[in-house]
Structure 1
Amino acid sequence: MSGELEQILLQLTQPDNAVIQQATAQLKLAFKDPAIIPALCAVMTGSQNSQIRQSAAVMLRMRVKKHWKKISPDHRESLKAVVLQAFQQETEHAVRHSLSQLSAVMVKHETPDRWPALFALLNQSTKSNNPTDRQVGLLLLSKVVESNPESFKPHYRQLLQLFGTVLQDLDNPTAMYYSILTLTAMTAYTGTEEMNLMRSLIPTLIIALKHLIKADQDQASEVLLDCFYVFDQDQASVVLLGLFLCVDQDQASVVLLDCFYVLTRIRPCGVIGLFLCVDQDQASVVLLDCFYVLTRIRPDQASEAMEVLDELMESEVSIIVPHIAEIVHFCLEVSADITLTDSLRVKALSCIAFLIRLKSKTVLKQKLLNPILQTVFPVLSAAPPPGEEDPEDEENSNEDDTDNESPKHFAAQVIDTMALHMPPEKLFHQLMPLTQACLASENPYERKAGLMCLAVLAEGCADHIRTKMLASMLQTVCQSLSDSNQVVRSAGLFALGQFSEHLQPEVSKYCAELMPLLLGYMSALNQAKIGHVTKAFYALENFLENLGSEIEPYLPTLMETMLSALSNAENLKLKELAVTNAAKEKLVPYFLPVIESLKGFLTDTRDEMRALQTQALDTLSVLARTIGKEVFSPLAAECVQLGLNLTNAIDDPDLRRCTYSLFSAVSTVSPDCLNPHLTAITTIMLLSLKSTEGVTAHLEEDKAFVLLDDDDDDDDDDEAQGDTILDDEVTDTVDPDIAGFSVENAYIDEKEDACDALGEIAFNTGAAFQPFLESSFQQVYELRDVISPRGCAQGCLRGHGPVLPSSAQSVAGESH
């Protein structure tokens, strides 16, 4: 059977759809044969084609993972022996990697004490004098320990001693890398008996990490080697030719030489292609495709290796306490090196922030605050590359984007963490001279850094600033709003917004100075960049929230500006910002023009209007709750109809969520106008609660052949014979190929807001809601373990409370 199986696998690699479909059908039939396990083993060890050997290993891994208990004991023992044999004789890295993954899956079922041959191989290979054998053994070790770390616990001391040796082998960075991955997997399971050994490893670990970072360019060669295994061999020569044509040869010489060596091994005739002239545009496209693959097949190893520091801090911080100074200096060295990748520098800065959060007293005691600040400030004040802007200063930047993982962003987070976890007197003594120097600089990005520093101090050091420094800091921020550089003005607006949010009520006392400045920005809404205006709105909104009656003198000018933006501005984002800030109290004189603008937005179904419409609905909801029943009630029925029309016309979770909030708000001022629409409203909301839209099932890696298992769960007589034994256990209801589920935040928010709205509508409409009570209660109850109880089930129960007694018996009966 092995010969036929190898032929089928070979056909799957052919560039012919009909051949692939035929081979897939044949493979499905082959998988029903009880001899499939031995056949795959034979192909995995005997095929001359490395791609076929790798495919066989991947299929075996899937089979083992999903059907281990159905594999006969004889075939299990045979498989354990064959896998180790294949691993020892294999010469191709990609196949070794797949074999190590197969071994890792088996270790979940066959622990090392039940698989002594595995531990013998690990012991032999990891201690070998041959660097390649040692590297291969450490690859296998990293995979099996990561798969089942607790089962190796009796061997932790032995492994830690091994790592102490391997991490000193600075000429073998790949071996160090695999050792660090294994150490990371072990850390959460280490006990007191391993503490001293772990602690003694830290200095060696830091040196190893430094060498891994230095070796990143050499590791890039290994990444490209993996790329050749992904591409077919003809493509490999084209990709390499593209590198010679498109990459700066001085910077990439080491990588190219390594690639040349690789190419001569896997495709000798491809070397001729290096001397042929091809179209450079075509080569550029090939090269881009190559880099696209590179970013997915191998992440930055040094950055990944640094995860061990995070794991040590999270699990066993006592291990690193004696070495905090060494770790901090190492991370500072990495974060300050602009030649390294952003991801590596970000990792180093996040480690520093983590240490400050966990051991701020130790950081201060060991006099590490000043070195940290001396390194962090240049990162924070660095100018972007020529022709570029910082993400937050870009015209089309998304203010809600939380994925800004630049070194500058994390440098600000380090200072933010200091403010939250260090005594302000000690922090400000060393921080303020650096901040003042930045603020006085002629470099706009240094001035921006000084303002960003003041901004992130506002939350953690609020009491200290309010009582001792508010006037001087506020004066500095106000002066920045007239800076000649918009980057600096934007940072000043952000700082003012932070002050308004965290330094209340004292900051509101300066409204006479601040409001004219802010209103000055509002008067030029259409001329400034949207990113800049967004920060102005942010500062204004935070400041207005706490003014109370003191807003009245400024209200005419403010509303004139807002209404002008709603009526005349061409930019939809600007209209959205104006809508957001228009919903304030004391708006009765301006109510009708605001409503007319909002109604106009809610009848436009263009996609580009979506963000504006969600803000308009939110504004309507706020107006319904604050403007007063007498003013809003005449428009309540029309608002409900507008909401229903939108939900019928547009499929968008954020829009539905805002519509539910509008229905809920209307129920507080005019519940009767909802009664005729309760059937439609509750139907939409219950559909939202039942919907699985936005739920994503994540498959495990290498599911290219998942279709082969489609029929494996059929318990027919043919499959029940041979290599399968049927256990008496109940079959899991969750597909074992599914690693987990995720739900997009928009759909979670929709469900939570639907529950809150159902509760409030039930409360306000009273008996009219009773026909819908049982179904809504039951649906919310089913979601109790899926989404936030506070946001959903508890809110709905609280809202349903007044009408529950009349239906308590029926609901209780169903919920059991």
Structure 2
Amino acid sequence: MAAPTLFKMAAPALEQLLTELLEPDSAGIRQATARLREALEEPGTLEGLAVLLREAERPQVRNLAAVLLRRRLRKLPPGLIDRLPQLVVEALERDTDGSCRGSLGLLQARLLLQGGPEFREPIWKWIQGATREPQKLEGALRVLSVCISEAGPALFGHAPVSVSHAPSCGSPAPFSGPALLWLLRGSLRSPNPPGVVGAALGALGELLPLLGGTRKNLWRSLVPEVLQALQELLERDQERGAAALEILEQLLEFHPEALSSHLREMLGLCLQVGGAESRGDALRVRALGTVTATVQSRGRALLPLLPWLLRGVLGPLCAPLGSPPDPEDEDGAEGPSPRHAAAQILDALAQELPPEKLLKELLPLLEGPARGSCAGGRKGAMLALAAIAGGCGSALRQRFLAPVLGALRGGLGDPEGAVRGAAAAAMRELREQMEPHLAPLAAEFLPRVLGELWGSPQGWFVLEALLEALGEGAQAWLPQVLPRIQGALEAAEPRGRELALSALHALACSCESLPLPPPTLAAVAALAREGPHQLQALVPVHTGLYWSILVYTGVY
């Protein structure tokens, strides 16, 4: 007697099989995978997966069923394909799990790509119905966003969408430009909850590449609504607000002309968020990153706003040193800080604007923080020099050499370690343009660095910058520097050995010949015995040193 198919055995048998695939048991997973591979050859199994979209108890199983159906969409029988759009809508109506709805949305998008207009009708009716039920609206908008992102032009007959301010009389076609814009613009307004507003902004961002760009007045009218919605969302939910800021970069990419008359308002919102110390760092960095994207996109269009823009950037750049400290000031910390996100704006400005125009406005603004009593301001001034070095280095050397060297001298001699570290970063960035002028400065401060109790990563970072600035002049300092490196290499602390090896790498960059005395060579060789990978950093600049250490240790 032939065994019944899994579908005829009822969905629970298939549900149990999928459940076994989710268990943390490697042997069980292998067995379940083999059984599923055989079962998928049975047409009834595909019908069973469709049932599980709605009836499986565990959301992980419902999610897996949606994924399997999407992957085998072209192998489904025609009858199931025709019913699947409605089955997906029924599953969406019942499911409240975000991950499941995402998978169902992806499945629906694939159906929209594969089918004709009749496949669009069920999902559009469901989305329209959700607009009348606030508890369903957020989920519907997120599904809509997935469909727009994945199905793209297929929703609109492979042509840009013609749009107007409101849908025409009668019932607009499913996924028509007027209907979608009317739905999304209505969802931006208060008193919709943050989830709805964030989802509407996300869907609108996905829609932007598909909308025709001929109605510039419409886009200009849309920008104030987007900015107002963003401002309210940022006040109510920082996490959703940070994600929703992406729409500004999407507008910059696809409809930059719409922002031309709203640049100050948009940048003002981002600078206000980026400078607010009461907000989370992730949100502040995201907002300041949007300013950087605007600079890169609009460039010279920002010249009339430059003085105002720079004052806004200097707020987070020169803010007081806080608790916790900036990531680069704390060993082991990761991630960008608002201070460095502000410096990246200056980097972008230096790349996009004429150097003389930027320096004329920026340098006077930096004088106060560079000489002030606030260590954060002094650090910010040093980071500003580092940021503009790439775009303005030549102009700084030709017209502002003495002030720049004076600022670096003040930074390297600052009592605050964070300021000295920022000055070292500026020296490194300026080295290509000012190398002959930096060597005397490095020689002036190297004795101080070597004479202090510097065991922190910042101290090593400053040492490296000074050695690189000295160039071949570093040879004269080997008797003082190498014992420091040797002591750190012989210590048991792994981080200290890593920093010492990095300093040795800086010496190798500077010196054409780097003879190591036997005690230092032995200390480095001890690392090679732990594995040649410890010395890989030396290979690009000092292959001879690398191989001599390997030979010394007997590795080769």
The TM tier, using the shorter chain, reads 0.7 to 0.9
1:577 pairs with 502, 517, 523, which one?
502
- Does the Cα contact within 8 Å between 1:584 and 1:623 map onto a contact in 2? no
CA distance in 2, matches of 1:203, 1:149: 26
CA distance in 2, matches of 1:517, 1:307: 47
Query: Is 1:409 the counterpart of 2:340 in the alignment?
Result: yes
Question: For 1:267-666, what aligned pairs fall within 5 Å after superposition?
Answer: 300-365=239-304, 367=305, 369-386=306-323, 388-396=324-332, 404-501=335-432, 503-504=433-434, 508-509=436-437, 511=439, 513-521=440-448, 523-524=450-451, 527-541=454-468, 543-545=469-471, 551=473, 555-556=475-476, 558-569=477-488, 570=491, 571-583=496-508, 591=515, 593=516, 597-598=520-521, 601-602=524-525, 604-605=527-528, 607=530, 610-611=533-534, 613-618=535-540, 620-621=542-543, 645=555
CA distance in 2, matches of 1:494, 1:358: 27
CA distance in 2, matches of 1:174, 1:584: 53
Deviation of 1:572 after TM superposition, in Å, equals 1.8
CA distance in 1, matches of 2:456, 2:138: 55
TM-score (norm. length: structure 1): 0.58
Deviation of 1:532 after TM superposition, in Å, equals 1.9
Q: Which residue of 1 aligns with 2:119?
A: 115
Relative contact order (C-alpha < 8 Å, sep 6+): which is higher?
A: 1
- Does the Cα contact within 8 Å between 2:319 and 2:376 map onto a contact in 1? yes
Aligned residue type for 2:524? F
Q: Kindly report the root-mean-square deviation, in angstroms, between the aligned alpha carbons of the 2 structures.
A: 3.5
CA distance in 2, matches of 1:538, 1:390: 20
- Does the Cα contact within 8 Å between 1:521 and 1:536 map onto a contact in 2? no
CA distance in 2, matches of 1:528, 1:136: 53
Closer, same or farther: CA 29–170 of 1 in aligned 2, 3 Å? same
CA distance in 1, matches of 2:221, 2:510: 63
- Does the Cα contact within 8 Å between 1:37 and 1:60 map onto a contact in 2? no
Deviation of 1:410 after TM superposition, in Å, equals 0.2
Query: Is 1:58 the counterpart of 2:63 in the alignment?
Result: yes
2:128 pairs with 113, 124, 127, which one?
124
Q: Which residue of 1 aligns with 2:141?
A: 138
Closer, same or farther: CA 468–43 of 1 in aligned 2, 3 Å? closer
Aligned residue type for 1:564? P
Deviation of 1:598 after TM superposition, in Å, equals 4.4
Closer, same or farther: CA 338–25 of 1 in aligned 2, 3 Å? same
Closer, same or farther: CA 560–396 of 1 in aligned 2, 3 Å? farther
- Does the Cα contact within 8 Å between 1:537 and 1:581 map onto a contact in 2? yes
Q: Which residue of 2 aligns with 1:690?
A: none
Closer, same or farther: CA 621–522 of 1 in aligned 2, 3 Å? farther
Deviation of 1:186 after TM superposition, in Å, equals 2.3
Deviation of 1:535 after TM superposition, in Å, equals 2.4
- Does the Cα contact within 8 Å between 1:602 and 1:616 map onto a contact in 2? no
1:77 pairs with 78, 82, 85, which one?
82
1:5 pairs with 11, 18, 34, which one?
11
Deviation of 1:184 after TM superposition, in Å, equals 1.7
1:448-496 C-alpha deviation (Å, 9 max, x unpaired) = 1122222222222223211221102211221332222222222222222
- Does the Cα contact within 8 Å between 1:444 and 1:485 map onto a contact in 2? yes
SS state of the match for residue 414, structure 2? coil
TM-score (norm. length: structure 2): 0.82
Query: Is 1:211 the counterpart of 2:232 in the alignment?
Result: yes
- Does the Cα contact within 8 Å between 2:8 and 2:44 map onto a contact in 1? no
- Does the Cα contact within 8 Å between 1:64 and 1:106 map onto a contact in 2? no
Closer, same or farther: CA 347–604 of 1 in aligned 2, 3 Å? closer
Deviation of 1:430 after TM superposition, in Å, equals 3.3
Closer, same or farther: CA 2–213 of 1 in aligned 2, 3 Å? farther
Deviation of 1:8 after TM superposition, in Å, equals 5.1
CA distance in 2, matches of 1:105, 1:493: 54
- Does the Cα contact within 8 Å between 2:349 and 2:358 map onto a contact in 1? yes
- Does the Cα contact within 8 Å between 1:438 and 1:447 map onto a contact in 2? yes
Deviation of 1:133 after TM superposition, in Å, equals 4.3
CA distance in 2, matches of 1:325, 1:303: 19
CA distance in 1, matches of 2:26, 2:486: 60
CA distance in 1, matches of 2:524, 2:423: 32
CA distance in 1, matches of 2:374, 2:295: 29
CA distance in 2, matches of 1:347, 1:125: 34
Q: Which residue of 2 aligns with 1:278?
A: none
Structure 1 stretches of 5 or more lacking a match? 218-299, 398-402, 625-635, 647-816
CA distance in 2, matches of 1:353, 1:167: 26
1:256-289 C-alpha deviation (Å, 9 max, x unpaired) = xxxxxxxxxxxxxxxxxxxxxxxxxxxxxxxxxx
Deviation of 1:516 after TM superposition, in Å, equals 2.9
SS state of the match for residue 129, structure 1? coil
Closer, same or farther: CA 115–572 of 1 in aligned 2, 3 Å? same
- Does the Cα contact within 8 Å between 1:603 and 1:642 map onto a contact in 2? no
CA distance in 2, matches of 1:524, 1:603: 27
Closer, same or farther: CA 20–497 of 1 in aligned 2, 3 Å? closer
- Does the Cα contact within 8 Å between 1:448 and 1:488 map onto a contact in 2? yes
User: Larger radius of gyration, structure 1 or 2?
Assistant: 1
- Does the Cα contact within 8 Å between 2:446 and 2:463 map onto a contact in 1? no
CA distance in 1, matches of 2:265, 2:226: 11
CA distance in 2, matches of 1:116, 1:578: 63
Closer, same or farther: CA 489–98 of 1 in aligned 2, 3 Å? closer
CA distance in 2, matches of 1:141, 1:445: 46
Deviation of 1:195 after TM superposition, in Å, equals 4.5
CA distance in 1, matches of 2:510, 2:427: 22
Deviation of 1:211 after TM superposition, in Å, equals 2.1
Closer, same or farther: CA 338–482 of 1 in aligned 2, 3 Å? closer
SS state of the match for residue 277, structure 2? coil
SS state of the match for residue 645, structure 1? coil
Closer, same or farther: CA 324–316 of 1 in aligned 2, 3 Å? same
- Does the Cα contact within 8 Å between 1:396 and 1:531 map onto a contact in 2? no
Q: How many residue pairs are counted as aligned between the two chains?
A: 523
Closer, same or farther: CA 495–45 of 1 in aligned 2, 3 Å? closer
Closer, same or farther: CA 314–132 of 1 in aligned 2, 3 Å? same
Deviation of 1:349 after TM superposition, in Å, equals 0.4
Deviation of 1:35 after TM superposition, in Å, equals 0.6
Aligned residue type for 1:345? R
Closer, same or farther: CA 33–532 of 1 in aligned 2, 3 Å? same
Closer, same or farther: CA 524–172 of 1 in aligned 2, 3 Å? same
Question: For 1:192-231, what aligned pairs fall within 5 Å after superposition?
Answer: 192-193=213-214, 195-216=216-237
Deviation of 1:500 after TM superposition, in Å, equals 1.9
CA distance in 2, matches of 1:213, 1:8: 45
CA distance in 1, matches of 2:512, 2:61: 71
CA distance in 2, matches of 1:145, 1:173: 21
Deviation of 1:341 after TM superposition, in Å, equals 2.2
